[in-house]
Structure 1
Amino acid sequence: MSEPQATRRPPTIDAVAAARWARQPAIPASPWLHEEIGRRMQERLQWIKATPASWLDWAPLRGGLEAHALVAQRYPQAQSFVLEPEATLMAATQAALAAPWWSAKRWRGAQPRFGAQSVPEEGVDLLWANMALHAASDPQSLIATWHQRVAVNGFLMFSCLGPDTLRELRSLYQEAGWPPAGHEFTDMHDWGDMLVGAGFAEPVMDMEHIQLSWSSPQACLAELRTIGRNLHPARFPALRGRQWLARLHEKLSERASRSSDGRLSMTVEIVYGHAFKPAPRVALSPQSAVSLRDMRTMLQQGRSGGGG
């Protein structure tokens, strides 16, 4: 028996389609919206007292190359690491972020380090993940991976799309009797629960609505294609024809004509979150399994907390 609809939690994502989208390079640059969200999320770092000595940018090619530079400017003394979960995108990311031989960044030793092998075993003080979580077919597994990459007392900073995203387009598809326009997006409270379940502490969640507008349906759809794809398992399974596209343009134009300025407008909900990684705790039992990394951390804390 399938899980009851009332308790089923997004995402409703086709894992194969999600993996295919993840391999798509962001060409010629990171999506404009992702860069803007990265800029806004970077401003939120001012409210966090901790100053990381190291930080990891997760999937910056699509998450935002300009956003990476903003975080690097905020923490100029911190060693940065870059990890693309899709190995095929690492070369393009390294080419985009690596400083040329004549750059002063090389003289100051400010070059990021690339690849999973370069990340310290004990983790980093900040893991930065911009606009990645909403496209993960197994978000709980991804959050667990992030938890492993964060050092004790370090923190995770992330953003993703929220449930109200493209509600106008979803409504239009529903009215036309078409399959879903996109997969569902998770509510920020559910993200908070998943963070705690993965071992993070003190999650702080926030959200905002952004209204995007375009002069034409063509411009709207062109930008939406840079942001993502319809990953819903029940999406239309074949290729659409020109007549369907013309009908979509017509319906979008009708929606734009009803607005006060004649522009086509769509809502985007952005969820922001951050959470800290506390020291590991071991439940008392006759037999307990502890990783070598966690055992080392607990021993170090025991020595530093001991008195003479």
Structure 2
Amino acid sequence: MSAVLFDAKQVRRAFSRSVQTYDAAAQLQKLAEARLLESLEYLDDPALERKPPQRILDLGCGTGSASRFLQKRWPKAEILSVDLALPMLQHARRAAKTWNPFVQAPRPLCADARRLPLAEGTLDVIFSNLCLQWVEDLEGVLNGFRRALKPQGLLLFSTFGPETLWELRGAFAQADAAPHVSAFVDTAGVGDALVNAGFFQPVVDRDEEVTHYPAMADLMRELRDLGATNALAARRSTLTGRGRFAVAERAYETHRTGAGLPATWEVISAMAWAPEPGAPIREGGADLVSVPVASIPIRRR
């Protein structure tokens, strides 16, 4: 079992508090969501001879924008909107009230990605935008996804890579030894986790975006508005003092450009398919399947 890296209660609290500010601050998240939703066009390929999905899970749905898109795309499908933060789900449900009454609205479900309350083989698609960076055991979560998906069901998700906020991480490292920014899984780790969980034909994409801010405090404010505060279990139990914050600010200033202080965001997206019944699965360290990560396509856009 993986060590506990995140305080799930703090993750829930932070996202619950950010429900009113999230949409205004989530420009990068919306860009990643749009790119991920574009990948669903693959399901419309006539060569696949696939029926429209009947049950879709939007995991880490936040305020529900992707759920609403999915419902419009497949109006006859059942969309399950899952989030750890109940206020996010309540916001998404209120937004869904403007829907055509002849189209069923997404169904909200407050649940943890690590313990989905769903029966085996009941989902056609699992969609998750920038949620899985909050779980420490990616392979374990993917095993749960594979069980919940029907054979040849589609998994499509994005998460942050290790280059994300490297400037902020380095700045705080000059101030103290306490962790302030999460350590994210890289593309190879995502590919390994998919293969080990039994998924096939995985494809991994990598995008890098840079945003700019007048000051470090503006970046910190945006992270708070997003709910993306420090939820590491090993985080400092007291507030970062003015002295340490000032040291971090001075260190961050060394990165300033004409556009302001840069913040790098590495977004890793992955697509893979659930196996057929009886396909060998690698679990618990048993090497029933061995596929080199080098064989997994990694596209850098």
Provide the TM-score with structure 2 as the length reference.
Answer: 0.75
| 1:223 Cα offset (Å) | 1.1
1:246 aligns with 2:246: yes
Which of 97, 101, 105 does residue 99 from structure 1 map onto?
97
Q: Structure 2 matches for 1:184-199, cutoff 5 A?
A: 184-199=183-198
1:270 aligns with 2:267: yes
- Partner SS, residue 101 of structure 2: helix
1:153 aligned partner? 152
Provide the TM-score with structure 1 as the length reference.
Answer: 0.74
- Letter of the aligned partner of 2:5 in structure 1? D
Q: Structure 2 matches for 1:29-48, cutoff 5 A?
A: 29-30=22-23, 31-48=26-43
- Letter of the aligned partner of 1:163 in structure 2? P
| 1:169 Cα offset (Å) | 1.6
| 1:172 Cα offset (Å) | 2.1
- Letter of the aligned partner of 2:221 in structure 1? A
Residues 162-219 of structure 1: per-residue CA shift (max 9 Å, x gap): 0111111222233445433312110122112212222221111111111111122221
Residues 72-93 of structure 1: per-residue CA shift (max 9 Å, x gap): 3333443322223456754444
In the comparison of the two structures, how many residue pairs are matched? 263
1:230 aligned partner? 230
| 1:230 Cα offset (Å) | 2.7
Q: Which has the higher contact order (CA 8 A, sep 6+)?
A: 2
- Letter of the aligned partner of 1:53 in structure 2? Q
1:298 aligned partner? none
Residues 121/190 of structure 1: CA separation in 2 closer, same or farther (3 Å cut) = closer
Residues 209/281 of structure 1: CA separation in 2 closer, same or farther (3 Å cut) = same
- Partner SS, residue 236 of structure 2: coil
- Contact kept, 8 Å, 1:13 with 1:231, in 2: the verdict is no
- Letter of the aligned partner of 1:39 in structure 2? A
1:113 aligns with 2:78: no
- Aligned CA RMSD, in angstroms, stands at 3.0
Which of 16, 19, 26 does residue 27 from structure 1 map onto?
19
- Letter of the aligned partner of 2:214 in structure 1? S
- Contact kept, 8 Å, 2:59 with 2:127, in 1: the verdict is yes
Residues 12/175 of structure 1: CA separation in 2 closer, same or farther (3 Å cut) = farther
Q: Structure 2 matches for 1:169-184, cutoff 5 A?
A: 169-184=168-183
- Contact kept, 8 Å, 2:19 with 2:87, in 1: the verdict is no
| 1:19 Cα offset (Å) | 3.5
Extract unaligned runs of 5+ from structure 2.
281-301
Residues 148/65 of structure 1: CA separation in 2 closer, same or farther (3 Å cut) = same
- Partner SS, residue 163 of structure 2: coil
Residues 247-280 of structure 1: per-residue CA shift (max 9 Å, x gap): 4334434532xx1x15010111000001111222
Distance 2:175 2:240 in 1: 15
| 1:134 Cα offset (Å) | 0.8
Residues 51-85 of structure 1: per-residue CA shift (max 9 Å, x gap): 42331111211xx5223333333334433222234
- Letter of the aligned partner of 1:222 in structure 2? R
- Contact kept, 8 Å, 1:162 with 1:188, in 2: the verdict is yes
- Letter of the aligned partner of 1:221 in structure 2? M
1:131 aligned partner? 130
| 1:229 Cα offset (Å) | 2.6
State which structure, 1 or 2, has the greater radius of gyration over its C-alpha atoms: 1
Distance 1:193 1:279 in 2: 19
| 1:133 Cα offset (Å) | 0.8
- Letter of the aligned partner of 1:135 in structure 2? W
Residues 159/262 of structure 1: CA separation in 2 closer, same or farther (3 Å cut) = closer
Distance 1:12 1:165 in 2: 22
- Partner SS, residue 57 of structure 2: strand
Residues 17-73 of structure 1: per-residue CA shift (max 9 Å, x gap): 234213431411343332221112112222343542331111211xx5223333333
Distance 1:262 1:131 in 2: 26
Residues 2-29 of structure 1: per-residue CA shift (max 9 Å, x gap): xxxxxxxxx98633x2342134314113
